[in-house]
Amino acid sequence: MASVPEATDQHRVLLRYNNGAVALHWITVALVLTQLYLGFTFADMERGPARSELFTWHKTVGATILVLSLIRLAWRLMHKPPPFPESLPRWERIAAVWNHRAFYLLLIALPLTGLATISSGRSGTTELAGGIPLPLIPGLPESAGDGLGETHMLLVFVTIALVLLHVGAALKHQFIDRARASGRMPPFQAPGGGPVEMLER
């Protein structure tokens, strides 16, 4: 990955992400928003069957995000993303690339730190929705649980901050700057219309 993201003249035709990348992006968005709702909801509940059920779904969605993130990372390594339009400032291109890299890291680290937290002092498996067993991480002492839980929560708030930054940048490009870069990820449209081509590389 280059330190300065690739940019090309796309005045006439704008290149966008291919359909596989678009689908993985929006499925991940839906899962992350669902996970945030589940996490903050069950955390404030009293212990009992209702809380346990939400926690099971929280673990299930977390495991799904981990698998999907690994698939998404593999897809990204096999499919080059579309270059930015030259009209997008260099600093914004660099910020966008590092924001995406941070997301990849967090979407893998968050489920793993969550699993490590519930693995502390335990062995065997933990149950996901539908009774699916998920192996716990062996050998973690119970004393590590609090620290791992705090790390997990810290990563949650870092993720929220990056989501807000990412959404804010997308809305800025679409409605304030009216930048052509906004058309790289459907359903956003490049201001001013014009043809858009899907990148197949």
Q: What is the pLDDT along the chain (201 residues), one digit of tens a residue?
A: 445 566 665 655 667 899 999 999 999 999 999 999 999 999 889 999 999 999 999 999 999 999 999 999 999 999 988 888 888 889 999 999 999 999 999 999 999 999 999 999 999 999 999 999 999 999 999 999 999 999 999 999 999 999 999 999 989 888 888 877 778 888 887 776 556 666 554
What lies within 8 Å, CB to CB, of 70 at 6+ separation is: 108
Q: Output the six-digit token pair for 80.
A: 């080059």
Length of the chain measured in residues: 201
* Residue 73, pLDDT score: 95
* Residue 2, pLDDT score: 47
> DSSP secondary-structure letter at 12?
S
> Of 193, 164, 171, which is closest to residue 180 (Cα–Cα)?
193
Residue 175: Cβ within 10 Å count: 11
What lies within 8 Å, CB to CB, of 103 at 6+ separation is: 159, 162, 166
* Residue 56, pLDDT score: 97
* Residue 188, pLDDT score: 83
Distance CA 1, CA 165 (A): 22
User: pTM here?
Assistant: 0.89
DSSP-assigned states of every residue in 112-166: HHHHHHHHTT--SEEE-GGG-EEEPPTT--GGGHHHHHHHHHHHHHHHHHHHHHH
The alpha carbon dihedral of 195, 176, 28, 31 has a sign of negative
* Residue 174, pLDDT score: 86
